[in-house]
Structure 1
Amino acid sequence: MRTINTNEMTQQFDNMFMAPARAFAALNVDFAEKIFNAQLDAGKAYVDTSMAQARSFMDVKDVEGLRSYMEGQQKVAKDLAERVKGDADKVVGLQQDFIQKSQKLTEDNVKQAQEAATKMSKTA
């Protein structure tokens, strides 16, 4: 029977437990960063739009200016609706990418664990 030294045990522990945990943690951090940045970008765009509209309203001096401002609101509403849809699509895409990568990571780790278990049973 072959004995396993401390370095081999440490390497096996790392390969079976710590490496997959690190890979999954890295995937989660990457996803969180992408979602946070998407939300930050969207929030900035919405605030910028709101501020621009407030400034436009402050420039209204007469009935004609009010009519022009109100007509512009239709375009702003349309642009904002398109932005919201684009932002939602971006988040869905990020979530789908995360799911696919996490499934692949899980499959790879299960396969690696099975191979390691088979190798260990043959050496025992």
Structure 2
Amino acid sequence: MEQAKVQSNSHIAFRKHYYSVLHAYIGQLVKLRITKETIQVYSDLLLLCEHKLKHDQDSMRYSTFPDHMPPIVMPTMSGIKPDIRIGRNKKDRIHSRLYNVSFPEARSNKNNIKRSIHYSS
């Protein structure tokens, strides 16, 4: 059996293709059982997953099962809500930086930027 390390993106590499593995195994060595049709990924004797083996070089190079990916976790800090708004002082600093830009293309866009920013009062 061949071995591969589960990369930080939850995939193992085999013959220039990448196959997903459950995110809990990131950083671990796993064993690969290769048949004509499939690639099976094992941790010790436990079958973690099975993918259809990719043979052609022109096809998509990743085979990913969505449930193998880690959940997206948005870090939150005490007292800060994800939909935080900026106050008047921050607004003034942002406007100061936007209006003191020396690039002509940036100056032509500053009114569009100003309209797209929402502030709390």
TM-score normalised by L of structure 2: 0.24
Structure with max Cα Rg: 1
**Of Structure 1 and Structure 2, which has the larger fraction of its residues in strand?**
2
Q: Which has the higher contact order (CA 8 A, sep 6+)?
A: 1
Which one has the bigger helix percentage? 1
